[in-house]
Structure formats: C-alpha cells, structure tokens
C-alpha cells in the first residue's frame, strides 16, 4: 500500500490547489450586490462642438462606489503635452449642453472640490492622459451623469501631472440655461465667464437615466442609449436576482421595437423617445433584448437564482 499513501498525498495537494483556484476566482468577482454594480463605466465620445476635427478622443471613465467615490479616466487622442480638465456632470452626453450642470455634493454649494469632482491632467507626448479623483462621500446613484473633458485654459500656475485631482482648482460654472436641464439637480448659478474652453469629449455614466427620470425617483434605473441601431458603449449587461424587479429603459434615436426574449415582451419606442420595461424576474437564465427590426442585441439580461 506504499502506492496508496503517495496517491493520497498527491490527491490532497491537488484538491487544495483546486480549492485555492476556486477561492481566488470568487475574490475576483467585483462586488455586485442586489443586481447593481458598484462601478459604472462609460466610453468617451468626441463631441460635435470640439474645435479640431483631425483628432478623435477615446477612452474610458470609471466611477467606483465601493468605498466613497473614486472617479478615474484614461484618455487617448488628445493633443500632446496639453493641460486638460474633466468634471463629473449630472446630466447625459446627449443633452443640448452635454453633461448639463456639474455634480455637487451640496447642491448650490461650493463649485470647487471637494464639493465637486474635478480631474486635472496634462497629456503626455503621445496625447494620452490619466487622472483619478476620489472623495470619501458617495455620489448618489443616478447623479453621476457623465464626465466631460475640456482643455484647461485657466491661468493656474501649478503644472499638474497626471494623477490626483487637486483641490485648488479654479472653476467657473457654465451657464444658467443649462443648469436647469439636469432635472433640478444642479445649483443653477449663472456665472458667464469661461475659465476653460469648449467641451471636447463626454463619457456617459448614468446621465441618460437621470435625464429621463427627472427627480430622484427613477435615478437608479439603467438606461440603454441606442444610436444608429447600436447600443452606446456596447451590449449592456444587466444582472438581477430571481424575484427582483427587472427595470430598465431604452432610448433610441430611431423608431424601433424592443423585444425581450424568453419573457417575450415587446414595446415600441418612437424616434428620440424612451421606453421603460419593468417586470418581475421570474425566469432564471440569460436572455437577450434586441432591436427587433435590425436584429441587434442591446441587453444581456442575466437572472441569477
């Protein structure tokens, strides 16, 4: 039975290895609780009003609520060695004034960090930039509308390296007419001066939802924005537990029929309109929602047992 002993030792070692791998796996899964992810991400889209047309700003914005709020952006396609500033706004990118008013913890309070979230950075030689700003306070769900990047033309003396956003940022609010659009969120202070130039790029976070939902009630309903027959930012992955209410909205620039497979629900959305789905998550599994006419998938709906 010498054999058997060796085998059992080897077996235990392997079992331990498997267990370790499995545990490692479960640690990886980012804290998704109650069907809502702690992080929201958005892709930067170059805005129409950006002055130069020969460059295309691309990149990602990520808002993490797992501990206070951490907002980080990573952008490319900027002009090399140039100072930029990005702000967290309450509105969506699709508004007439992209992003609407700046996000503020105390509405109508200070227009500077820490009451607002600003990220200053200088692009490197390749036109890339990264910045992170954090706050101990949590941005309420639904109010982190979008992140908008401007060129930083302020006369600030300090030259900022990519990194932590600084508190002593000079910031002047955009304009009163825009401040009203965010569904009553913003402070709405009119200060006509511009300390920084035109908006260059915008990354949609929760803006579409906030814009549609108006006040706080619908703030945490995810909204899928469909542009040119495709979901902005890729197929949206929505996760719910069985028994919860599945709720999401679809906004489309073209008239379409939205079809949720499995549950077999269909609703029409007019061009430029929004349609809301709300139904109990009673079927487990993974289901698609798609644009019925174009056959393009917009949502992957995962219902966990």
Partner 1 sequence: MSFLPLAHALSARDDLPVPAWLFAWAASIVLIVSFFALAAGWRSPRFEQWRERPLGEGLSRVLLGLPAQVTYGLIGIFLLGFSIYAGLEGTVAPERNFTLTFLFVTCWLGFPFFSAIFGDLFRPFNPWRAIGRATGAGFGAIAGQRSAHLAYPEKLGRWPAAIGLLAVVWLEVVYGAGGIGIDPHTTAVAALIYSGYTLAMMAAFGVEEWCERGEIFSVYFGMFARLGIFHASDGRLQRRPPLAATTTWATIPGSAAVVLASIAATSYDGAAEGAVKDPISSAAEWLIDQGVGPVASIRLTETAFMLLCFGAVTLVYMLGVRGMRTVPGAPSLAKLRVGFSHSLIPIALAYLVAHYFSLFVFQEQAQFGYLLSDPLGTGTTNLFGTASWEVDYKVISTNAIWYVQVGSLVVGHVMGLMLAHDRALAYWSDYRKATASQYWMLAVMVAFTCFGLYLLSVANG
Query: Contact residues for partner 1 (CB under 8 A)?
Result: 3-4, 7-8, 10-11, 14-15, 18-19, 21-23, 25-26, 261-262, 264, 282-288, 295, 302-305
Q: Which is nearer to partner 1, 82 or 302 (CB)?
A: 302
Instruction: State the Rg of the chain over Cα.
Output: 23
Q: Which is nearer to partner 1, 21 or 217 (CB)?
A: 21
Omega cis (within 30) before 69: no
In the numeric block, which tokens belong to residue 198? 């035109």
Q: How far is the CB of 3 from partner 1 (least distance, A)?
A: 6
In the numeric block, which tokens belong to residue 188? 């709405």
DSSP-derived secondary structure letter, 262: T
Q: How far is the CB of 84 from partner 1 (least distance, A)?
A: 29
Helix (H, G, I), strand (E, B) or coil at 228: coil
Q: Which is nearer to partner 1, 88 or 236 (CB)?
A: 236
Which positions ≥6 away from 70 have C-beta within 8 Å?
63, 64, 132, 133, 134
- Please tell me the distance from the alpha carbon of residue 89 to that of residue 104, in angstroms, as a whole number: 8
Do 229 and 223 contact (CB within 8 A), yes or no?
no
Q: How far is the CB of 223 from partner 1 (least distance, A)?
A: 23
DSSP letters, 98-136, are TT-SBP-SSTTS-SSTTTS-EEEEE--TTS-EEEEEEES
Q: How far is the CB of 304 from partner 1 (least distance, A)?
A: 7
Q: Which is nearer to partner 1, 108 or 285 (CB)?
A: 285
Task: Please report, for residues 62, 187, 214, 264, the alpha-carbon distance to residue 90 in angstroms, rounded to integers and kept in the order given.
Answer: 15, 11, 11, 34
Q: Which is nearer to partner 1, 112 or 300 (CB)?
A: 300
Q: How far is the CB of 295 from partner 1 (least distance, A)?
A: 8
Q: How far is the CB of 27 from partner 1 (least distance, A)?
A: 10
Question: How many Å separate Cα 127 from the centre of its chain?
Answer: 23
Q: Which is nearer to partner 1, 15 or 167 (CB)?
A: 15
Q: How far is the CB of 179 from partner 1 (least distance, A)?
A: 41
Q: Which is nearer to partner 1, 27 or 193 (CB)?
A: 27
């Amino acid at each position: 039975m010498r054999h058997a002993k060796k085998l059992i030792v080897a077996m235990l070692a392997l079992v331990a290895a498997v267990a370790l791998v499995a545990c490692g796996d479960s640690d990886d899964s980012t804290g998704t609780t109650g069907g809502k992810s702690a992080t929201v991400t958005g892709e930067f889209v170059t805005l129409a009003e950006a002055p130069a047309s020969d460059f295309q700003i691309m990149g990602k914005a990520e808002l993490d609520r797992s501990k206070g709020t951490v907002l980080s952006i990573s952008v490319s396609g900027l002009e090399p060695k140039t100072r930029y500033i990005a702000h967290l706004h309450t509105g969506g990118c699709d508004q007439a004034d992209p992003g609407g008013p700046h996000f503020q913890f105390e509405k109508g309070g200070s227009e500077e960090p820490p009451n607002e979230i600003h990220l200053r950075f200088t692009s490197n030689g390749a036109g890339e930039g990264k910045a992170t700003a954090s706050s101990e306070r949590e941005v309420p769900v639904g109010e982190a509308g979008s992140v908008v990047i401007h060129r930083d033309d302020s006369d600030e003396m300090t030259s900022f390296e990519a990194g932590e956003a600084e508190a002593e940022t000079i910031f002047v609010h955009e304009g009163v007419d825009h401040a009203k659009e965010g569904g009553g969120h913003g402070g709405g202070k009119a200060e006509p001066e511009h300390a920084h130039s035109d908006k260059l790029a915008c990354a949609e976070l929760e803006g579409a939802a906030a814009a549609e939902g108006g006040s706080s009630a619908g703030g945490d309903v995810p909204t899928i924005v469909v542009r040119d027959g495709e979901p902005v930012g890729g197929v949206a992955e929505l996760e719910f537990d069985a028994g919860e209410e599945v709720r999401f909205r679809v906004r489309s620039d073209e008239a379409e029929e939205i079809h949720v497979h499995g549950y077999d629900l269909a609703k029409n959305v007019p061009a430029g309109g929004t349609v809301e789905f709300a139904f109990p998550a009673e079927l487990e599994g993974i289901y698609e929602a798609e644009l019925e006419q174009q056959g393009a998938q917009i949502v992957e709906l995962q219902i966990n047992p």
